[in-house]
Structure 1
Amino acid sequence: MANPILPLWEYIPDGEPRVFGDRVYLYGSHDNAAESDFCDNKLKVWSAPLNDLNNWQCHGHSFHTRPDRDHKSDTEERTDHRLFAPDVIEKNGKYYLYAYIVGSKGCVGVSDRPEGPFELLSEYKYLAEDAGDDGIYNDAGVLVDDDGRVYIYYGFTESNFNEIDPQNMYEIIKGSYRRGVIDDSDSAPQEQRFFEASSPRKINGTYYLIYSPCRGSRLAYATSDKPQGPFTYRGYIVDNGVDYPGGNNHGSVCCINGQWYIFYHRMTNNTIMSRRACVEKIEILPDGTIPPVEMTSLGFEESLNPYKITPAEIACVLKGGCFITEKDIFTRSIVNITDGNVMGYKYFDFGNDYSTKTMKLAVKVRGMGTKTKLKIYADGCEDGELLGECEIGTADGVYTAAVKALTGVHSIFFKAEHGVEGWTAQYFENKPLFEFEEFTFMK
């Protein structure tokens, strides 16, 4: 699957990937289109076979804080609030869900299956002096160490740590509380200072904590030789705000079939809500560092096929104010495209046909009553190669153009221009020109 990796109508942010058995599971919050707040009152689980990462299956709802048409609430009425940022770990053949319920002491659920459904086991149990974050355990991430000890990392604007009693998986061990396992002081640089979204991993004997720093469109990471830290900032992994409408970020790393990935989310609907799950390949170097990676349209694909129909909404570059919006379950377009806006896709493999000099581009748009020029570039608008230009008319429809043929792997960028010259051009500078739905290349 290309990015986003789940069906394009699904909004799963805050993704925690876990490999259990022969499948990779994605646990996350649940957003909706056109909502004015983060998350709702249910959690969903998706998974894919390790040998077929493009075949994601929905396991339905795994936990609720409100009843719906098919389920009773899994919590008492007093915890009838939104659910945030779950994590799931396995211990002694049981699967434990850790989630933050707004205004409560969190919750721990248990199931015999990694996909749930999860039955409420308990709130966290602790002495007041043994919990940070006002005892709500915001965005908790959990680590089961090699010796069976269980650690929980959590907090909003403060980086907290506790150890959990492995006998019941919800009691906080007395005296285990630590504050500032990642630097959360005002003196720390914003790109390093802890904000939220704790996600622990142990990799090659080193403890990693993936988190969202105060520069909130990034996922950063810190390392330590001890589970309780302190953790040292090492860098950031991905930034969902690079040439894209960014917002908060939350996710983690996972090794699948020997390849490491970073799972994260992107925003849609001109909001910092409506977030969708994405993934990029990463590399962990021998010294433990993780070089930053760019956002792409690839997901689990090695490359995109330019000769198939590409939905416009899988763009990984949106510059100038255009954005993706859901009009209905079947229709999501790039809208608010004005003069100079850029839409980019990384990466297509055009093959090795060296005999063809040109190819045909077809774009499907919704017209906005304005004639537009759509310029097509390979490998960037500023320093890339101009392949051609497509004239977009005033009406809904498919428009075509002959463009220069390519071989090999390239990114593709579209740049919209209103094409109006003279003194009237000023009236078209901020006018929406068209809405972009899909495109394909043909030979």
Structure 2
Amino acid sequence: MRKPISYLGLFMLAGFACSQPQDKNQTMEADSTASKFTHAPLVEHMYTADPSAHVFEGKIFIYPSHDIETDVAQDDMGSHFDMKDYHVFSMEKPGAPVIDHGVALKLEDVPWAGRQLWAPDAAEKAGKYYLYFPAKDKQDIFKIGVAVSDRPEGPFKAEPEPITGTFSMDPSAFQDGEEYYLLWGGIWGGQLQWYEDQKLVEGRKGPTDGIPAPDQKALMPYIAKLGSSMTELAEKPQEILILDESGEPIKAGDNSRRFFEAAWMHKYNGKYYLSYSTGDTHFIAYAIGDTPYGPFTYQGNVLDPVEGWTNHHSIVEFEGKWYLFYHDTQLSGDTPLRNIKMAELTYLPDGKIETVKPMK
């Protein structure tokens, strides 16, 4: 049954102090550089994170991960993020009730998966909907799977095997005209550092095994065009280069700018924007390029650090305005139990994005 679960106020210039839970209708005056956003969690009856938002059928659909309380101990590989299913949410427009459409896919319904249904994303083509998701296989190695539905809210039926040629986690789908692309990758718990030339290296087990030296090129996300079926890759994955202002690849020791996880791509005024989490420095950074394959040049931050250790986002246009979806830990104060939020984005005349400052 579809149930409205939360209401948002109108977007206004606001900020909030994340250190204390606040009433969802409360607003605070922010300075003139602050972005418009609401500071109420979109979903309050369960914990949600990693929101991937898309406009399907004229509405905003959100595909988050589903945080749960667990006895699994916390570690640097993220074992305590022990998600077991996905819910899909929708809203008619910003400010409208958020609808929980129920369970869209469960871990036990993915034949190849062993544990940890982490951050997903979705795409639509010719009336079919595709849910891309990471999970650890029976050997505890992250792979990326896909599930298919006739409806944006699901339920989704998983393909029997992961997508050949994929590895690591955090898939995101990007549509550019008639072409569709899949991006992915994440270090530490995402296991990207365990691969060389897209092949798993035996003996790498820890979160930093395989991480380049600080003065070496950082690990980067991957991209590949999707085939016509949307369930397989049409080409060998390519690394997406993120460059500094001098045209050199961002270094592994440049923790405030280098890629960690959560790659997302959108297009604005003919340019491609690659945004991503810097992980242990807690920024959502972004870079701009001329093609989906890059290279991309670092520009700054979309989002400053939030309450909680992790940072993961999506960016979507709806009725001529742009919105950032993200998460923090306002409801629980506990990193593995997060809640999704949204903010209105502002583009500056030069194409840069005004940084959202959620901790103000």
Same fold (TM over 0.5): yes
Q: 1:248 aligns with which of 299, 302, 310?
A: 310
Q: 1:7 to 1:194 in 2, by over 3 A?
A: closer
Which deviates the most, 11-20 or 285-294? 285-294
Q: 2:46 aligns with which of 10, 25, 33?
A: 10
The alpha carbon displacement at 1:222 in A equals 1.2
| Alignment match, 1:372 | none
The alpha carbon displacement at 1:194 in A equals 0.3
Q: 2:99 & 2:304 partners in 1: Cα distance?
A: 27
Q: 1:149 to 1:137 in 2, by over 3 A?
A: farther
The alpha carbon displacement at 1:75 in A equals 1.3
| Alignment match, 2:17 | none
Q: 2:146 & 2:234 partners in 1: Cα distance?
A: 15
Matched, 1:287 2:341: no
Q: Which has the higher strand share?
A: 1
| Alignment match, 1:40 | 83
Counterpart residue type for residue 90 of structure 2: S
Q: 1:232 & 1:104 partners in 2: Cα distance?
A: 29
The alpha carbon displacement at 1:285 in A equals 2.2
Matched, 1:274 2:337: yes
Counterpart residue type for residue 179 of structure 1: E
Q: 2:267 aligns with which of 195, 199, 202?
A: 202
Q: 1:188 to 1:289 in 2, by over 3 A?
A: farther
| Alignment match, 1:144 | 175
The alpha carbon displacement at 1:8 in A equals 2.1
Q: 2:51 & 2:264 partners in 1: Cα distance?
A: 10
Q: 2:85 & 2:52 partners in 1: Cα distance?
A: 16
The superposition leaves residues 319-348 of structure 1 with CA deviations (integer Å, 9 ceiling, x where unpaired) of xxxxxxxxxxxxxxxxxxxxxxxxxxxxxx
Question: 3-state SS of the aligned residue for 2:133?
Answer: strand
Q: 1:180 to 1:162 in 2, by over 3 A?
A: closer
Counterpart residue type for residue 89 of structure 1: A
Matched, 1:262 2:324: yes
The alpha carbon displacement at 1:24 in A equals 0.5
| Structure 1 contact 34–274 (Cα < 8 Å) conserved | no
Question: 3-state SS of the aligned residue for 1:28?
Answer: strand
The superposition leaves residues 408-437 of structure 1 with CA deviations (integer Å, 9 ceiling, x where unpaired) of xxxxxxxxxxxxxxxxxxxxxxxxxxxxxx
| Structure 1 contact 4–276 (Cα < 8 Å) conserved | no
Q: 1:39 & 1:260 partners in 2: Cα distance?
A: 31
The superposition leaves residues 342-388 of structure 1 with CA deviations (integer Å, 9 ceiling, x where unpaired) of xxxxxxxxxxxxxxxxxxxxxxxxxxxxxxxxxxxxxxxxxxxxxxx
Q: 1:48 & 1:155 partners in 2: Cα distance?
A: 29
| Alignment match, 1:75 | 110
Q: 1:251 to 1:156 in 2, by over 3 A?
A: same
Q: 1:212 & 1:218 partners in 2: Cα distance?
A: 6
Q: 2:131 & 2:125 partners in 1: Cα distance?
A: 11
The superposition leaves residues 101-136 of structure 1 with CA deviations (integer Å, 9 ceiling, x where unpaired) of 12343211111111111111354444xxxx4xxx42
Question: 3-state SS of the aligned residue for 2:155?
Answer: coil
The alpha carbon displacement at 1:164 in A equals 3.4
TM-score (norm 2): 0.71
Q: 1:151 to 1:7 in 2, by over 3 A?
A: closer
Counterpart residue type for residue 288 of structure 2: T
| Alignment match, 1:167 | 228
Q: Which aligned pairs between 1:313-332 and structure 2 lie closer than 5 A?
A: none
Matched, 1:24 2:89: no
Q: 1:154 aligns with which of 172, 180, 184?
A: 184
Matched, 1:62 2:104: yes
Q: 2:143 & 2:280 partners in 1: Cα distance?
A: 27
Report sequence identity in percent: 32
Q: 1:235 aligns with which of 277, 300, 315?
A: 300
Q: 1:284 & 1:167 partners in 2: Cα distance?
A: 34
TM-score (norm 1): 0.58
Q: 1:166 & 1:99 partners in 2: Cα distance?
A: 17
| Runs of 4+ residues over 6 Å off in structure 1 | none
The superposition leaves residues 290-343 of structure 1 with CA deviations (integer Å, 9 ceiling, x where unpaired) of 011221xxxxxxxxxxxxxxxxxxxx66xxxxxxxxxxxxxxxxxxxxxxxxxx
The alpha carbon displacement at 1:186 in A equals 3.6
Question: 3-state SS of the aligned residue for 1:97?
Answer: strand
Question: 3-state SS of the aligned residue for 1:271?
Answer: coil
Q: 1:201 & 1:235 partners in 2: Cα distance?
A: 16
Counterpart residue type for residue 18 of structure 1: H
| Structure 2 contact 250–257 (Cα < 8 Å) conserved | no
| Structure 2 contact 82–115 (Cα < 8 Å) conserved | no
Q: 2:225 & 2:162 partners in 1: Cα distance?
A: 9
Q: 2:340 & 2:40 partners in 1: Cα distance?
A: 5
| Structure 1 contact 240–266 (Cα < 8 Å) conserved | no
Q: 2:286 & 2:41 partners in 1: Cα distance?
A: 23
Q: 1:210 & 1:278 partners in 2: Cα distance?
A: 17
